[in-house]
């Protein structure tokens, strides 16, 4: 349940783009998402350049949203008294760990393989993909806090009184904030990635 640490270089990305940071923005402006108007989301799948990579990218994002919602549903069931401590632990741990692995793998592949290729397609993309990398750092930091809250919740399951419910409430508050950030990031990333794939085709990214 512990993601890797954040490097000084990555922290610098967050500070460099602080004014456009994930926690501060409500979306991307037209100067960053400069292909968005030319490729509106309702038309993506009908475009001749919409291929397997674009479909895969959207499916991964959909899966991450679904996994986050599944984890939240298990927590809400426990908080609402619909499942006992043992049942909660059985449902929560594998779902939470699976979500962590999936998110970490996706971001690692993006940072190491795909984002550098997008930057090379057009100089105008550099700011946007630097911004997405900065998002990854903030998401990681919030994820570490969420992991800590999950550990505290699991430890509290064996405590007397309402300690477990209080821990579940604390976890849910932080996890909900984290989920909001993740949804914002995924939506913004799609508005950069998919139009770029439609504009340039998928071959340069493979």
Predicted pLDDT at 14: 41
Nearest to 146 by CA among 174, 116, 185: 174
Between CA 13 and CA 16 the distance in angstroms is: 5
Categorize the per-residue pLDDT at 26 as very low, low, confident or very high, splitting at 50, 70 and 90. confident
Tens-place pLDDT, residues 36-88: 999 999 999 999 999 999 999 999 999 999 999 999 999 999 999 999 999 99
Nearest to 3 by CA among 132, 177, 141: 141
Nearest to 95 by CA among 150, 173, 171: 150
Enter the pTM of the model: 0.88
Say if residue 148 is exposed, middle or buried (CB neighbours under 10 Å; 0-12, 13-18, 19+).
middle
Predicted pLDDT at 161: 86
Tens-place pLDDT, residues 155-205: 999 998 899 999 999 999 999 999 999 999 999 999 999 999 999 999 988
**What is the chain's alpha carbon radius of gyration, rounded to the nearest angstrom?**
19
């Amino acid at each position: 349940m512990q993601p890797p640490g954040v490097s000084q270089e990555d922290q610098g990305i967050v500070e460099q783009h602080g004014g456009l940071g994930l926690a501060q923005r409500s979306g991307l402006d037209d100067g960053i998402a400069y292909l968005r108007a030319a490729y509106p989301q309702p038309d993506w799948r009908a475009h001749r350049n919409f291929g397997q990579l674009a479909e895969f990218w959207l499916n991964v994002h959909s899966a991450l949203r679904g996994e986050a919602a599944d984890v939240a549903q298990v927590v809400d069931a426990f908080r609402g008294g619909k499942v006992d401590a043992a049942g909660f632990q059985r449902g929560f741990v594998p779902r939470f760990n699976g979500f962590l692995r999936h998110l970490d793998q996706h971001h690692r592949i993006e940072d190491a393989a795909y984002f550098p290729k997008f930057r090379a397609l057009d100089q105008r993309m550099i700011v946007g993909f630097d911004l997405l990398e900065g998002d990854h750092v903030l998401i990681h930091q919030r994820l570490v806090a969420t992991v800590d809250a999950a550990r505290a919740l699991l430890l509290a399951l064996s405590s007397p009184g309402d300690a477990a419910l209080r821990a579940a409430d604390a976890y849910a508050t932080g996890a909900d904030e984290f989920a909001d950030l993740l949804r914002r990031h995924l939506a913004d990333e799609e508005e950069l990635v998919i139009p770029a794939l439609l504009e340039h085709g998928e071959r340069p990214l493979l």
